[in-house]
A = this chain, B = another copy of it.
Amino acid sequence: MTVDGTRITRAERQAQTRERLVEVACELFLTEGYAATPLDKVALTAGFSKGAVYSNFSGKEELCLAVLDSLHAEQIEGIVEAFSARTDLDSRIDAFVEWARRSVGTPRYTALEVEFAAAARHSPFVARELVKRHRDMRAMAAGLITQIAEEEGIELALTPDQAATSLLSLGIGMGAMRSLDATIDVSVFAAAIRSLVRPKAQ
């Protein structure tokens, strides 16, 4: 009820705090790593104290889950965009590989996800949450694959679900390897995709 024009409710303020914390945590987790980033540092960089983290998240794990959510959203957007240009199959694959070149391994999405998965595997809650997200990703990929197969009039050698699982595995594996050995070329990805997606009979 202040006379000030910048009226802000308590919930709004907290939402801002939360958002800012996720933003900063994302930045730091990606560059420094999950375990290597102290909560203190996240909080202080965001301009708060550790208390702010604990009144917005149950702990470091839940904060990281929020970070992963925002990253997943970003990744899905990128993938869908790569495929949405409706030209022929080859240029779609090229677009996807181009996306992969920019996004797989170098910003360490997968490294983070995979470090977190391993480090937090003792927690049944975290495990469940991660599995849920993986299944969503897989379903999304499978849907995209069927859609594209239909549009291009292709019959695939693998079921959409198998193809999705393969591509996700490939992405995770290559992301993990590339995050510590940048010399690994994603062109392998292209070749693998082409042979996975190659139509069944010729």
Residues of chain A touching chain B, judged by Cβ–Cβ distance below 8 Å, are 32-36, 108, 111-112, 114-115, 117-119, 121-122, 127, 130-131, 134-135, 157-158, 162, 165-166, 168-174, 176-177, 179-181, 184, 187-188, 191-192, 195-196, 198
Chain B's closest residue to A112 (CB) is B118
Give chain B residues whose Cβ lies under 8 Å from the Cβ of A111.
117-118, 121
Q: A168-B177, A170-B166 are in contact. Are A115 and B122 (CB under 8 A)?
A: no
Q: Does A191 lie within 8 Å of B162, measured CB to CB?
A: yes
List residues of chain B with CB within 8 A of the CB of A135. 181
A117 in contact with B180 (CB, 8 Å): yes
Write the chain B residue with the least CB distance to A117. B180
A69 to B198 alpha-carbon distance, docked (Å): 37
